[in-house]
Amino acid sequence: MNRFPDDFIWGTATSSYQIEGAADLDGKGPSIWDAFSSIPGKTHNGETGAIACDHYHKFKEDIRLMKEMGVKAYRFSIAWARIFPTGKDSINEEGIRFYSDLIDELIQADIVPWVTLYHWDLPLALQLEDDGWLGEKMADYFAAYADVCFERFGDRVKHWITLNEPWVVAILGYGQGVFAPGRISTSEPYLAGHQLILAHAKAVHVYREKYSHQQGQIGITNNCDWREPLTDSEQDKEAAERSLQFFLAWFTDPIYKGDYPELMKQRLGEKLPKFSSAEQTMVKGTSDFFGLNHYTTMYAAHNDGNSKEQNVYGNGGISEDQDVDLSLDPDWNLTLMNWAVVPWGCKKMLEWINKRYDQPDIYITENGCAYADELIDGTVDDQERLDFYKGYLEACQQAIDGGVKLKGYFAWSFMDNFEWASGYDKRFGLHYVDFKTLKRTPKKSALWLQKVIKSNSVDV
């Protein structure tokens, strides 16, 4: 039996706006997602996270389900506006109490909390008053918010993630406009990305300088899909590498190497903000581990300037800056999100990170799939999801066998939730949620993962 390392971390993950609900209860301020989802046409069927899975009231029940499933760790995010209703100044003690109770309940269930400080739900006041992630004060506001979280929860939380997927914030929020705050631009994504990196670094320095006695770890989670060259031509190989750098290295090179990729600087010129020497020093080395959210793979080919994809947003960013065409193999199976199921792409993604960043400790902090699950006679037979997890976990084992220091895996998501602009129709969860009754039901894949975790092997 091919086992994972004995100290391998098995977990599952969620985010605050997608599951908590209680959007305006107990002193919580509005977030940009509360505002964005209230605008007609911005989300599927006008759905919002106002109630979501009502985790705010059902967290004890949810933790019992996690314990039954056997997960060793739970990655969740804190809603910034539940701690600081306006993003700054006055602390909401009711919000502190909720997360403190949640953390205590997890520890009592022998589940290790992994806390993400920001998963896209910026306090609305900061967007209106300080220009959101385009504002130069945002990094300081974020560091101050992080400071309070470290102070109040750091005695029990030893694993911190500053930001979840800054690429999504920058490209989908400030570029394509399909996510909050809904801005459309070909230059603002780079400005927002710059502020996000500075915010991450400042929060890490607060943690290391003020809370080293807590003896925890802190890092960042970035997302990236694998890019496979469409052909063996040098042009397509270079296009695939270019796409990976614009997707992932944009945010990880400054942290691991001290600056943006040279390729991006050459292509973008003045469009890409510059780090001062002091900022380069501040940013470099600010992650104790490499957090990766990975879901799918696409082919990459060189764009000669005549493609119909030119000047539009592809799945990897702003295509006019990359000269890359993206495509799928028609034989690949697709999830409900039309994301291709390509386990070998996960292995190649891990190997690319391992080589480029000198063998860092890697945690897959999200991996999963959406399908149109149905509850029939009290059960959900999600064999497609089970097959997805089996394939990707086998790819993870192969990467580990090849020398990649993969230390843990968090399945996305613990339960069906509000899937952002796609609403509730996209079911990613290991537990089926009836959004009328908010009842949770374990799916076939959850029961299978329970066996995987217990045996520490996919061969179950």
Total-model pTM: 0.97
| Residues 106-123, mean pLDDT to the nearest whole number | 98
Q: What angle do CA 161, 386, 370 make, to 5 degrees?
A: 60
Mean pLDDT to the nearest integer, 398-411: 98
Q: What integer pLDDT is reported at residue 172 of this predicted model? A: 97
What average pLDDT score do residues 4-23 get? 98
Asked if residue 184 lies in contact with residue 175, where contact means CB atoms within 8 angstroms, the answer is: yes
Q: Is 165 a catalytic residue?
A: yes
pLDDT exceeds 70 at position 1: no
- Percentage of the chain beyond pLDDT 90 is 95
**What Rg, from alpha-carbon coordinates, does the chain have?**
21
The answer for 21, left when phi > 0, alpha when psi is -120 to 50, beta otherwise, is: left
- Per the CB < 8 A criterion, the answer to whether 138 and 132 are in contact is yes
| 382-399 average pLDDT score | 98
Confidence at residue 410, expressed as pLDDT on a 0 to 100 scale: 98
Asked if the bond preceding 413 is cis, omega within 30° of 0, the reply is: yes
pLDDT class for 311, splitting at 50, 70, 90?
A: very low
Catalytic residue among 20, 228, 366, 419: 366
Q: Which residues pair with 260 in a beta bridge?
A: none
Confidence band for 305, pLDDT divided at 50, 70 and 90: confident
Nearest Cα residue to 99 out of 62, 147, 149: 149
Name the pLDDT band for 309 (thresholds 50, 70, 90).
very low
| pLDDT confidence bin for 320, thresholds 50/70/90 | confident
Domains, the chain, ordered by start: 9-455 (3.20.20.80)
Looking at residue 247, what DSSP letter applies?
I
Q: Is the pLDDT of residue 162 over 90?
A: yes
pLDDT for res 310? 41
Average pLDDT on 405-414 reads 98
Q: Is 366 a catalytic residue?
A: yes
Q: Residue 307: what pLDDT?
A: 56
b/e 68-81 (16+ beta carbons within 10 angstroms → b): ebebebbbbbbbbb
Across the range 256-279, mean pLDDT stands at 98
Per-residue confidence (pLDDT) for residue 460, from 0 to 100: 87
Integer Cα distance of 21 and 55 in angstroms? 7
Angle between helices 138-153 and 93-108 (to 10 degrees): 50
Q: Which of 105, 165, 188, 241 is catalytic?
A: 165
Q: Are 309 and 303 in contact (CB under 8 A)?
A: yes
pLDDT at 259 over 70: yes
Average pLDDT, the chain: 96
The predicted model gives 203-218 an average pLDDT of: 98
Collect all residues with Cβ–Cβ distance below 8 Å to 409 and sequence separation of at least 6.
8, 9, 10, 11, 363, 364, 367, 393, 396
